[in-house]
Amino acid sequence: MMGKPYGTMSKVASVVFMLIASMACAVTAKEFTVGDTTGWDFAPNSSFYNDWANGLKFVPGDKIVFKYIPSDHNVQEVTESDYVSCSSLNPLAEYESGNDIVTLPKPGTHYYICGFLGHCDQGGMRMKITVRGAYAPQSVHGGATSPTGDLPSPMTGMDPGLPSADTATVLPQGNHERALTPAAVPVTVPGHSAACSSRELAIFKRRRPFFILMGGAAAIFPLLWK
């Protein structure tokens, strides 16, 4: 007689536990304006935009905003070789709205230039951004590393915030194509809302009976009124 209510109670309790854990551990993406007050424009020196990017920490899901006058500049995401040579002939993606919000979809280095003639090599309008991966390994005794990725991945409700179709053109090139659906990846990076720490996880585990009790009450209460 108690099999069905108990099963329902257990399911509800699990859902309650996961929801509370996900709310406490969700990662919050950040938005950065490229060049800060300078925006995306002729740079004061050739390393200006890389110096700006190197002073920040980027993780998957973060957004970078290119602000500029559309008639003066544009934005192209390019390969490393095209970044070095300032070639705008085969961009991976191109933006030209003047207020382009670009989501950083995955770990790795991403390259951006202005595609207008001379703006990249002579105007210093090129930038590379390194996006950190999830759960960077932590050093332990003996020189080995111990990844923290063995913790349960928190559920996230992150909105990837992709640029609209009228501000970005996706251009396939060989095996390269800009990922338009970046996955929400849990990360632990200074300057961002971190994923669950081991201490927080332990607290949730110790309080699991409380969550089960609350879930059970939610499941049984409607049965009392039948």
Together in a domain, 40 and 115: yes
What is the CATH classification number for the domain harbouring 185? Answer: 2.60.40.420
Regarding whether 174 and 134 lie in a shared domain, the answer is yes
Say yes or no: 141 and 215 in one domain.
Answer: no
Give how many domains the chain has, as a whole number.
2
Per-residue pLDDT of the chain (226 residues; tens, 9 = 90+): 455 555 555 565 555 555 554 444 445 789 999 999 999 999 999 999 999 999 999 999 999 999 999 999 999 999 999 999 999 999 999 999 999 999 998 999 999 999 999 999 999 999 999 999 854 444 444 444 444 444 444 444 444 444 444 445 555 544 444 444 444 444 445 555 544 444 555 555 566 665 556 655 555 555 555 5
Are 178 and 109 found together in one domain? yes
| Domain of residue 188, residue span | 26-193
CA distance 121 to 87: 9
* Contact between 105 and 63 (Cβ < 8 Å): no
